[in-house]
A = this chain, B = another copy of it.
Amino acid sequence: MAPREVSSIEVGQTYLELHHQLHRHVDQVMSAAGLSLARAKVLMRLSEGGPMNQAKLAGILGFAPRSVTDTVDALERDGLVTRTEDERDRRARIVSVTPAGSDALEAALLVRSKVMDEIFGSLPAADRAVLVDLLRTVKTNFPSGENSCAQ
């Protein structure tokens, strides 16, 4: 069977469209379960990287430093993070996940897994195997410099 001619732009566009749809759906389901994707991402980065100041947190998330303030404020109000003084820089505050924050993140990740399962589970097993192989190939062929630029 001769394959239809598909440009890499078309693949990229389809990939991004699916991500947009996925992102919105996951956010809706997670928000309904109590933790928006934006808040879950902040908790995730803090869980992975340990306690850190807001400037570093914003950097990892790719936002301007002040842009994470609202999210961190909301998480603090809900008791999911705490802020303590940074001994090395008195103007900065160190943000840490609380035990309640870890529980909320775990629950949110479970919800996300269920949504992903529902979405990619719509493909037959053979197609899932092909899709994961193609995605891994793209990941492996990624332009060089990607990892060396990572923080």
Chain A interface (Cβ < 8 Å from any Cβ of B): 3-19, 21-25, 27-28, 36-38, 62-64, 66-67, 69-71, 74, 113, 115-123, 125-132, 134-139, 141-143, 146, 149-150
The smallest beta-carbon distance between A130 and chain B, in angstroms, is 6
Candidate in A13, A19, A131 with the most chain B CB atoms within 10 angstroms: A131
The smallest beta-carbon distance between A121 and chain B, in angstroms, is 4
Contact between chains at A127 and B134 (CB < 8 Å): yes
Contact between chains at A62 and B27 (CB < 8 Å): yes
Instruction: Using CB atoms, name the residue of chain B closest to A114.
Output: B9
Contact between chains at A132 and B24 (CB < 8 Å): no
A145 to B116, CA, bound (A): 16
Instruction: Using CB atoms, name the residue of chain B closest to A121.
Output: B8
A90 to B14, CA, bound (A): 41
Please indicate the chain B residues that have their CB under 8 angstroms from the CB of A139 in the complex: 14, 17-18, 21
Contact between chains at A130 and B120 (CB < 8 Å): no
Contact between chains at B122 and A137 (CB < 8 Å): yes
A135 to B130, CA, bound (A): 11
Contact between chains at B146 and A9 (CB < 8 Å): no
Contact between chains at B10 and A132 (CB < 8 Å): yes
Please indicate the chain B residues that have their CB under 8 angstroms from the CB of A127 in the complex: 134, 137
Please indicate the chain B residues that have their CB under 8 angstroms from the CB of A21 in the complex: 139, 142, 146
Contact between chains at A138 and B123 (CB < 8 Å): yes
